[in-house]
Amino acid sequence: MTSNVVPLTSIARSRPAPAEGGGCSSRSCGSSEGRGDLPPHIWDKVKDHPCYSEEAHHYFARMHVAVAPACNIQCNYCNRKYDCANESRPGVTSETLTSEQAARKVLAVADRVPQLSVLGIAGPGDSMYDWRRTFETFRLVEKRLPDLKFCVSTNGLALPDHIDALADHNIDHVTITINMTDPEIGAAIYPWIYFNGRRHTGVEAARILHERQMEGLERLTARGILVKVNSVMIPGVNDRHLIEVNAAIKARGAFLHNVMPLISDAAHGTAFGLAGQRGPRPAELKELQDRLAGGANLMRHCRQCRADAIGMLGEDLSQDFTLDKIADEPGFDPEPRRLYRDVVERERADRGKAVAIASADLARVPDAPARLVAVCTKGGGRINQHFGHAAEFQVFEVDARGVRFSGHRKADTYCQGGFGDDDKLDVVLAALEGIDAVFVAKIGRCPKNDLKAAGIEAVDQYPFDYIETAIAAWYAERLGGQSAIA
């Protein structure tokens, strides 16, 4: 099994502790808030959830089981018939499971991936339309793994019919995909819906969907269930409108808003892909996310996972856990899960102190322009990956106000079988457009020079340090401040 998961015990390395504890200064992104920034009952719900907490995604893994193939709407960005083992995007799955098969698979994954904290059902159709399979799966899993959090993702059309059942299964997290509040715009996204025994089309279909989504959202938040809203940003269709969507969901109590770029490729066979509808460029997505700051809290670390994704966000172990690779009755040892959680608690405390030092460092930097930096990391909140092995970069923005998570950029791994591949380097350089520096655990001389020629500094003097402390020290040094941690 090739896992990006890093044993935290092997990488712990502390900075000196400050007199007072503190949190990351990235307050503009609600999903990155830590223990000190959230009410205790909310922190308790999000602290181990890699999608609801940006901080938790450094430590915990999720898995989706594809038990819900039926769907009640057609979206112009979706084609569930397309499958590819190497494709990572919503709706794609290699195999559809029965509830029993899914429960077996969850146990096998929990045994081998102690970081697993969340089981989600995200299709490949709709979890609430195919509700019997969804709830049966949860019923079977909760008997063996009571510490696992359950999560569903839905288009919202059938959601109001299942609020009580969701609460009865202790489901704290529900994601609704809401792309519009204006049915005229919705008609350009949804050709039809199936509701109350018949097919509806056009503006009427979008109006029904909108009303059901808002009803579901209001009733979930009234029950204290955290709701994340996913919106697909479709340039020229709903990109400007998403500002109204953000305000509408905030008013109804949504916990997070996750604006995702449209993935559009004619090869996927979607209506948008075949029509040549483009997705947004990274800069357009970031500009919209920045405009939304101050509204509903934003999620910026979504990886738009497959319906059978397994592992830390940014990695996918789904091909290691296909049914043919799982025993009929998988064994399960709970001890590694318990030990792992102990390690995470210690790491969190240590990292919180280190980040407080970083914040103090930055406060001494004279007012200066923000910088965008990319980080090679395998998790744990540390710079712990070789440049040549990075399949994606985490991106942070830094200025005197703090170090803020900004998103991630996918790339191809530069190192192939021990040698650098120049073609891959072009892909990596394209992914790093607009980035000032890339932080690595290690990098070879050739790619370092190539990055320099492209105007990007390769920073390798902070291997295994916490991401925030390293970026803060680097920024303070470059911008003339006095670093307390250098």
Q: From residue 280 to residue 319, what is the string marking binding to ligand SF4 with x (rule CB under 6 A)?
A: ----------------------xxxx-------x------
Residue with smaller CB distance to ligand SF4, 130 or 315 = 315
Q: Binding string to ligand SF4 for residues 111 to 140, with x set by CB under 6 A, is what?
A: ---------x--------------------
What is the token pair recorded at 278?
């483009």
113 DSSP assignment: -
Nearer to ligand SF4, 120 or 124 (CB): 120
Nearer to ligand SF4, 173 or 337 (CB): 173
| CA atoms of 124 and 36, how far apart (whole Å) | 37
CB within 8 Å of 338: residues ≥ 6 apart: none
The residues pairing with 395 across neighbouring beta strands, listed in sequence order, are 374, 407
Shortest gap between Cβ of 43 and ligand SF4 (angstroms)?
18
Is 256:76 a contact under the CB 8 Å cutoff? no
Question: Where are the strands (E) in 249-401, listed by range?
Answer: 256-261, 310-312, 371-375, 392-399
Who's near 13: CB < 8 A, 6+ residues apart? 382, 464, 465
The verdict on 438 binding ligand SF4 (CB under 6 A) reads no
Query: Minimum distance from CB of 316 to ligand SF4 (Å)?
Result: 10
149 is a contact residue toward ligand SF4 (CB under 6 A): no
Q: What is the DSSP string of 257-285?
A: EEEEE----GGGT-HHHHHTPPPPPHHHH
User: How near is the Cβ of 303 to ligand SF4 at its closest, in Å?
Assistant: 4
Of the pair 205, 232, the CB lying nearest ligand SF4 is at 232
**Distance separating alpha carbons of residues 306 and 85, to the nearest angstrom:** 10
Pick between residue 180 and residue 302 the one whose CB is nearest to ligand SF4. 302
Q: Which is nearer to ligand SF4, 133 or 303 (CB)?
A: 303
Amino acid found at 111: D
# residues near ligand SF4 by CB under 6 A:
8
Q: How far is the CB of 314 from ligand SF4 (least distance, A)?
A: 9
Cis, peptide link before residue 90, omega less than 30° from 0 = no
Calpha distance 459→122 (Å, rounded):
38
**Residue 109 binds ligand SF4 (CB under 6 A):** no
Least CB distance to ligand SF4 at residue 93 (A): 13
d(CA 16, CA 29): 27
62 binds ligand SF4 (CB under 6 A): yes
Q: How far apart are CA 404 and CA 347, in angstroms?
A: 20
The contact mask relative to ligand SF4 for 187-226 (x = CB under 6 A, - = no) is ----------------------------------------
Q: Residue numbers of the site for ligand SF4 (CB under 6 A)? A: 51, 62, 120, 302-305, 313
